[in-house]
Amino acid sequence: MLIEIPEEIQGPRVLLRPLGPADAPAAWQALEQSREHLAPWIPWVQDLRTLEDARTAINRSRTRWQRRQDLSVGIFNRETGRFLGGTGLHRIDWTARSFEIGYWIRQDAQRRGYVTEAVQLLVRLAFERLGATRVEIRVDPRNTRSVQVPERLGFVLERTRRESAADPTSPPAVRWIFSLLQADYARLPWGGARHTRGRGRGSRGEPPQSRAAKD
């Protein structure tokens, strides 16, 4: 039986949903405008050379969503509907209930907190709806802006991991592994602990779905 996943999650400023064929031109335009900023950190950007490539990637992502193999979503501006970037729950282990979050934002939408909000929504989804035991974020330590996302949200820097480099002559790449376990999430000011602290409706910690319905 398929695990039930909401097709749309709304936060105060962003909306997350899987991309469909109609999103291809907007996603393609965002990628085209952001190549320089994305390329050093996101290898798959090089593989998307045409609008048709973007369509194919969206279709593949849709299939993986339907099979619950990977839950990639677009980040949209909730007010205007503008496509801002991508994130999602990846490397899913449904047996262990562990998930990894990745993210990117178009160049002209950086530094407004959209990514931090989107990741927060996914963490809540993972722990509160999908029974997560662990949520992980892997970052290249040289990618300062990326490192700041898990740090800002209270993730625990767990360890350094060496990963083989794409080019066999290069030294292994290093990743910092940030994680949240259920107990960590429960202790976060915006996390599960809000249930026991008696925060009222409309507080910062309210689940994204109900918050959206009220706004």
Chain positions contacting ligand COA, by CB under 6 A: 37-38, 41-42, 103-105, 110-116, 139, 143, 145-146, 148-149
Asked if residue 72 lies in contact with residue 61, where contact means CB atoms within 8 angstroms, the answer is: yes
Question: For residues 66 and 160, which CB has a smaller minimum distance to ligand COA in the complex?
Answer: 160
Tally Cβ neighbours within 10 Å of residue 27. Answer: 21
- Smallest gap from Cβ 95 to ligand COA, in A, equals 25
Which residue's Cβ lies closest to ligand COA? 113
Asked if residue 135 lies in contact with residue 124, where contact means CB atoms within 8 angstroms, the answer is: no
Question: For residues 77 and 116, which CB has a smaller minimum distance to ligand COA in the complex?
Answer: 116
Question: For residues 28 and 104, which CB has a smaller minimum distance to ligand COA in the complex?
Answer: 104
- Smallest gap from Cβ 115 to ligand COA, in A, equals 3
- Smallest gap from Cβ 130 to ligand COA, in A, equals 21
Asked if residue 121 lies in contact with residue 110, where contact means CB atoms within 8 angstroms, the answer is: no
- Smallest gap from Cβ 204 to ligand COA, in A, equals 11
- CA angle centred on 3, ends 181 and 200, rounded to 5°: 55
Question: For residues 42 and 174, which CB has a smaller minimum distance to ligand COA in the complex?
Answer: 42
Q: Determine how β-strand 9-10 pairs with β-strand 14-17.
A: antiparallel
Which residue(s) pair with 137 in the sheet? 178
